[in-house]
Amino acid sequence: MRYGRERRALGRVGRTLMAWRQRVVIIGGGFAGVAAAKALKNERVDVLLLDRQNHHLFQPLLYQVATCALSAAEIAFPIRHIFARQPNTEVVFTEVTGINLKARSVETTSGPIDYHFLIIAAGAETNFYGHKDWAEAAPGLKTLDEALEIRRKVLLALELAEQETDPARRRELLTFCVIGGGPTGVELAGALIELSRGLVRRDYRHIDPSEISVRLIEGGPAVLRTMTESMQVSARRQLESLGVIVHTGSRVVSITSDSLGLIDQDGTPQTIPAATILWAAGVRAVPLTATLGVPLDPGGRVPVTPSLNIPGYDEVFCAGDVAACVDAKGVNVPGVAPAAMQMGKFAAQQIVRRLQGMEVRPFVYRDKGSLATIGKRRAVAQFRHSRFSGVIAWYLWLVVHIMFLIGFRNRLIVLTQWVWQYVTSRGGARIITGISRGHLEWPAQPRRLGRIPRRGGAPEPSEAEPRVVQATASGGPGG
Report pTM. 0.84
Region at 45 (left for phi over 0; alpha for psi -120 to 50; beta for the rest): beta
The residues spanned by each domain of the chain are 17-52+94-127+284-355, 132-280
Q: CA 44 → CA 17, 49, 197, 202, distances in Å?
A: 12, 16, 56, 58
The partner residues of 387 in beta bridges, in order of sequence, read 382
Of the listed 187, 240, 359, 463, which one is catalytic?
A: 187
pLDDT at 465: 39
The string of DSSP codes covering 189-217 is HHHHHHHHHHHHHHH-SS--GGG-EEEEE
**pLDDT over 70, % of the chain:** 84
183-237 pLDDT tens trace: 999 999 999 999 888 888 888 989 999 999 999 999 999 999 989 999 999 999 9
pLDDT at 471: 38
Catalytic residue at 162? no
CA-based diameter of the chain, in Å?
A: 117
Q: Which of the residues in the chain have pLDDT under 50? A: 1-19, 455-479
Instruction: Identify the CA nearest to 213 among candidates 262, 246, 250, 254.
Output: 246
The partner residues of 284 in beta bridges, in order of sequence, read 125
pLDDT at 401: 82
> Apex CA 69: angle with CA 405 and CA 143, to 5°?
60
Instruction: Identify the CA nearest to 93 among candidates 53, 35, 143, 124.
Output: 53
pLDDT at 415: 73
- The whole-angstrom separation of Cα 214 and Cα 337 is 27
pLDDT at 143: 93
pLDDT at 473: 38
Please give the CATH number for the structural domain made up of 17-52+94-127+284-355: 3.50.50.60
Amino acid letter, 347: A
Task: Tell the burial category of 244 from Cβ atoms under 10 Å away from its Cβ (0-12, 13-18, 19+).
Answer: buried
Q: How many separate helices (H) and strands (E) can be counted in the chain?
A: 11, 25
Task: Tell the burial category of 381 from Cβ atoms under 10 Å away from its Cβ (0-12, 13-18, 19+).
Answer: buried
Q: CA 272 → CA 157, 171, 261, 277, distances in Å?
A: 16, 10, 6, 10
Reduced to 3 states, what is the DSSP secondary structure of residue 179?
Answer: strand
pLDDT at 403: 79
For domain 132-280, the CATH class is: alpha beta
CB–CB of 301/321 below 8 Å? yes
- The whole-angstrom separation of Cα 421 and Cα 415 is 10
Q: Is the fold of 17-52+94-127+284-355 the same as that of 132-280? A: yes
- The whole-angstrom separation of Cα 459 and Cα 452 is 8
81-118 pLDDT tens trace: 999 999 999 999 999 999 999 999 999 999 999 999 99
Q: Tell me the pLDDT of the chain averaged across its residues.
A: 86
pLDDT at 325: 96
Q: Which residues, 6+ apart, have CB-to-CB distance to 225 below 8 Å? A: 181, 182, 232
Q: CA 333 → CA 303, 305, 324, 328, distances in Å?
A: 12, 13, 8, 10
Q: Which residues, 6+ apart, have CB-to-CB distance to 397 below 8 Å? A: 371, 372, 373, 379, 381
pLDDT at 408: 61
Instruction: Identify the CA nearest to 193 among candidates 430, 376, 71, 70.
Output: 376
